[in-house]
Amino acid sequence: MSFDAVFREYDMREESVRKTLPNTPYAFVNGTLERTNSLLLRWLSVYREFAKGYSQELLTRTSYYVIRWLSSAGDIVEKKLREIFDAKMPLEAYILLKDFCTNIGYADINFVLAEGSYFEQSSVYSELSETLSSLSSPRSATASSRIQFILKEIQKKDIFIVYYERGQFNNVLCWPLLLHEVFHPIYDMENLHRLSKNCPPVSWLNEALIDLYITNFFGPAYAISLASYIQRFPSEVSISHPSFSSRIFIALRYLTKLQNESQLPAPISSQLSDVFLYLQNIWDKHRTINAKDVQDSVETIFDNTEEDIKRIIAEKKTTPFVDFLLETEKKRKKAFKSTDADFIEKETPSISDVVEYFRHGIPIAADPRILFNAFMSRAYQEMAIRPALNIFITESLKKWHIKNAWLKAQKSRL
């Protein structure tokens, strides 16, 4: 029984991976894509070691499936390569996620965006391990040892894969949902499950706590993105699932609290009632299929953990959204009074500035939290996939990235 065809297949796939090199305008994106490329080559090496090990064995007819599986395993690597390197999501989504990770103290976390069926997260190591779950190791101790060595190497250099739903690549107002996915590994690193002490033991608690964290950090834009996505793609399976119903209800509880506290400056406070009614409408449509114990559980989780989550955000040398917005307004007023020659680069745009620039079609270097929260109203939600809004936000994120690079360069010169 010959494995020659299997090895030829691997040689062809290896050449494909080696030729697929990143060439983006952003150095940090190129770096993670190069690292991903290297891991995919090691992924292929694992399959190659399996094939080498099995090629030294006397396989029975019932073992023919091993050759068939290994001969098609190269397709798995090629598919993963294309999901990542041919992803249609604009590269500026990387800027949004990188800024978020930096803000919460994880600037060095490695992730790539990939096209998939859902918004979800995984990693190179976990996906490779899953493909091997039904395949026994070769009998050769040497082959098994080499396989384990490569797997440990991949695990050590692992990269998180953040998937977006392929049909949403041009829906720029769904991008905040990516924050939830990239936060999953951080949730584990931070052991945020420790906040569950006074929470009901529901299976979707981690989803609720992550949403509560992102909503408090990123603001109402995350809540409205979540609700509009669920509303746009209603699915009996997802809407009736406790994790989804809880996510809508958490967003609603957050907005209710913001309205009651009346801390937000104009114009965001005037938009808030529109957002609240939008979420309330979605919740009312699905209230009948959500058990009351889900609502009660969400309220308990919210009431018992929100202050702790705000404290954790503050400990990361950043601030919850409301505090951040108030600080931004203060910085903006101070900047206008400044006589500094570098005023334009140091200006801190507000929500109203972003909206005004958008009306004139001029991108603005605004913090992503300011940028996305400028488009909360229902009118903008209906523009989610229109080119004008997509171009404005992507170009604004570019300017934000360049502005930060300029400020960093200026500091290094001092």
Domain boundaries, the chain: 4-169, 172-414
CA dist 300 → 99, 101, 131, 199, 286 (Å): 31, 28, 39, 6, 20
The predicted structure's pLDDT at residue 151 = 97
- Provide the pLDDT for residue 340: 63
Give the model's pLDDT for residue 239.
41
| Phi and psi torsions of 160, nearest 5° | -80, 140
Q: Which positions of the chain have pLDDT values less than 70?
A: 1, 62-63, 231-246, 263, 265-267, 269-270, 285-291, 338-346, 413-414
In total, the chain counts a number of residues equal to 414
Q: What whole-number distance in Å separates Cα of residue 117 and Cα of residue 167?
A: 8
pLDDT for position 237: 42
Q: Mention every residue, 6+ apart, whose C-beta is less than 8 A from residue 409.
A: none
Contacts of 255 (CB under 8 A, 6+ apart): 220, 223, 272, 275, 276, 279
For residue 225, the model assigns a pLDDT of: 85
Residue 250 DSSP class: H
Report pLDDT for 240: 40
pLDDT at position 213 is: 94
What tokens were used for 210?
């992550």
The sign one gets for the Cα dihedral 376, 227, 381, 222 is positive
Cα–Cα distances in Å, from 348 out to 354, 361, 371?
11, 19, 11
